[in-house]
Amino acid sequence: MQPVTKKVEGERVWLKNEDGSLMYAEGATERPVGDVWTIPIINPVASERLDYPTQKPERLIERVVLSGSNEGDLVADFFCGSGTTAAVAEKLGRKWIVSDLGKFAVHTTRKRLIGVQREKKAAEEDFRAFEVLNLGRYERQAYLNVGGRLTGKQKAQALAQKENEFRELILRAYKATGFGGSEGTATQDGFFHGARNGRLVVIGPINLPVGRLFVEEVITECRKRGASRVDVLAFEFEMGLFPAALEEARGKGIDLTPKYIPAEVFDKRAVDKGQVVFHDVSFVEATPRYEKKNKLAVRIELTDFSVYYTQGAAEAAIAAMKEGKSEVMCEQGQLYKVNKSKEGIVKKDRLTKHWTDWVDYWAVDFDYMSRKEIIKVPVGTGLGGVASLPGLEPPQAELTILDFEERWTGGYIFENEWQSFRTRQNRDLELKTAEHTYDRPGRYTVAVKVIDIFGNDTMTLVPVNVG
Ligand SMILES: C[S@@+](CC[C@H](N)C(=O)[O-])C[C@H]1O[C@@H](n2cnc3c(N)ncnc32)[C@H](O)[C@@H]1O
């Protein structure tokens, strides 16, 4: 069959046959691509290589994107890994949405896409802005949703039951023993929910960040019981709580370790396999530097960052990044690179000599409170609009969604207005932002986000006053 028409995009060609079927071809010969594709692996020294364990060559994804979409189309990859699909889509003028459940994947993708934006900017080409959104909180809300045809009292009971189940799930993922007896049973011992490795475990409120009052309560309850070691698990901690709250606890003889409950607790398979890692909490210090000449301007300097990785958490993070083939180890909260010479002599080099060595990326939003985070929630037939939420049994599932309404989540969207990060080729990090000039005098809230070398992020808010 002879092709009758062709469409050319760069080196790629679409050939249309007489019967209307399409063949995809590449290169000057316009030879149609066959069923078996031979595409070379990424060269070990190529700038494209990001050391993400399952990274695919751009050349492969390019072929998929080109053959399956047109310029301006939307391309999605819900298992994006190092972000190859997004990078290729952006380079080829497609819109894109990507997701991944791994923090390291999201972080690698973010840096990669900023790199693509920079390349496009240098080439004076248009590029798109993008946002990184965290779905964790919505999952939590969906999990605790007890809508449906219940009275107020029934609803309260159902909610209490759900919260209890939720705590059990968290305890199981944390491999703690609940005070009801068996592992992962969340019967409360007055205040604490369980214990692990000789430490008490308490889970913070599910829908609120853990704040100073809660930490004070933990300290008081520990002292009542004569306990000196406690882990506080939470989805969020109030900003600025650490390190002061830890010092206060230490001053009262209590070793308090705050840990983040990761979004992976919603992944039943990960919980069953015992693969859920609760990360340690870090803190950031950033200082505004005002400009003498320009009263409306400020620069933000990153002045401290601290994270103390406990042995297990660091090892799990290293393993997740390198699939276990790592030569990096963690000892006493510090990271070491281990080299073995031909003669079998093992040499350990400390990788984290200075606090800046923990920082992989930091970004600043100079006016954080300016963009509220709005979500669209389904509105049902007067019964709470819960029909589209996952995990619901009939009769709720039979409800029809009539519309969606916009709701403010109580949070704000972080806009990367300035950032500095390390890449494989360039390990330097700038510690002071470029000068930012506000339109008018006033008080603003600057948000500073730091992502550590394991892809975990921490944010702090810095008030500034200009004019
Ligand atoms: C084979 S890798 C993708 C590699 C990617 N094509 C690249 O070039 O880097 C698969 C990815 O899917 C992610 N993943 C696995 N289960 C997932 C889930 N349920 N939801 C979202 N991402 C998931 C993993 O974290 C991993 O990064």
Tell me the pLDDT tens digit for each residue of 353-405.
Answer: 788 988 999 999 999 999 888 878 777 654 443 444 444 444 444 456 678 88
Q: What is the Å distance from ligand 1's center to 354 Cα?
A: 33
Same domain, 73 and 106: yes
299 alpha-carbon distance from chain centroid:
26
Task: Report the nearest-CA residue for atom 15 of ligand 1.
Answer: 79
Q: What is the Å distance from ligand 1's center to 105 Cα?
A: 8
Report pLDDT for 401.
66
Q: Is residue 30 part of a domain?
A: yes
Of 82, 99, 132, the last residue of a domain is: 132
**What does the pLDDT look like over 145-177, one tens digit per residue?**
766 677 778 888 888 888 888 899 999 999 999
Report pLDDT for 396.
46
**Residue pointed to by tokens 């990669």:** 112
Q: Looking at the CA of residue 56, tell me the nearest atom of ligand 1.
A: 8
Same domain, 122 and 77: yes
Q: Is residue 457 part of a domain?
A: no
Task: Report the nearest-CA residue for atom 7 of ligand 1.
Answer: 55
Tokens of 295: 């009263």
Q: Is residue 251 part of a domain?
A: no
Same domain, 29 and 49: no
Q: What is the Å distance from ligand 1's center to 79 Cα?
A: 4
Task: Report the nearest-CA residue for atom 18 of ligand 1.
Answer: 101
Residue 166 and residue 177: Cα distance in Å, rounded? 15
Question: Does ligand 1 have an atom closer than 6 angstroms to the CB of 396?
Answer: no
Q: Looking at the CA of residue 77, tell me the nearest atom of ligand 1.
A: 6
Report pLDDT for 344.
77
Q: Is 285 exposed, middle or buried (0-12, 13-18, 19+ CB in 10 A)?
A: middle
Q: What is the Å distance from ligand 1's center to 52 Cα?
A: 11
Average pLDDT value for the chain: 82
Same domain, 28 and 57: no
* Residues of the chain with confidence (pLDDT) below 70: 1-7, 9-12, 27-28, 135-139, 141, 146-148, 180-189, 239-240, 308-326, 332-333, 380-401
Report pLDDT for 387.
42
Same domain, 87 and 51: yes
Q: Is residue 396 part of a domain?
A: no
Say which CATH number the domain at 78 has.
3.40.50.150
Tokens of 449: 């986000």
Question: Does ligand 1 have an atom closer than 6 angstroms to the CB of 109?
Answer: no
Question: Does ligand 1 have an atom closer than 6 angstroms to the CB of 100?
Answer: yes
Query: What is the span of the domain harbouring residue 5?
Result: 1-34
Q: What is the Å distance from ligand 1's center to 86 Cα?
A: 13
Report pLDDT for 384.
42
Q: Looking at the CA of residue 108, tell me the nearest atom of ligand 1.
A: 9
Q: Show the DSSP H helices in 47-102 as ranges.
A: 58-68, 84-91
Tokens of 340: 């073995």
Question: Does ligand 1 have an atom closer than 6 angstroms to the CB of 104?
Answer: no
Q: Is residue 92 part of a domain?
A: yes
Query: In Å, what is the CA distance from 83 to each residue of 86, 147, 320?
Result: 5, 37, 17
Query: In Å, what is the CA distance from 427 to each residue of 108, 358, 360, 453?
Result: 15, 12, 9, 12
Question: Does ligand 1 have an atom closer than 6 angstroms to the CB of 132?
Answer: no
Question: Does ligand 1 have an atom closer than 6 angstroms to the CB of 101?
Answer: yes
Q: Looking at the CA of residue 81, tell me the nearest atom of ligand 1.
A: 27
Report pLDDT for 237.
84
Question: Does ligand 1 have an atom closer than 6 angstroms to the CB of 55?
Answer: yes
Q: Is residue 424 part of a domain?
A: no
Question: Does ligand 1 have an atom closer than 6 angstroms to the CB of 54?
Answer: yes
Q: Is residue 91 part of a domain?
A: yes
Report pLDDT for 9.
67
Question: What is the tally of structural domains in the chain?
Answer: 2
Q: Looking at the CA of residue 50, tell me the nearest atom of ligand 1.
A: 9
Question: Does ligand 1 have an atom closer than 6 angstroms to the CB of 282?
Answer: no
**What does the pLDDT look like over 186-239, one tens digit per residue?**
455 578 999 999 999 999 988 778 888 999 999 999 999 899 999 999 988 876
Helix (H, G, I), strand (E, B) or coil at 13: strand
Q: What is the Å distance from ligand 1's center to 217 Cα?
A: 40
Task: Report the nearest-CA residue for atom 5 of ligand 1.
Answer: 81
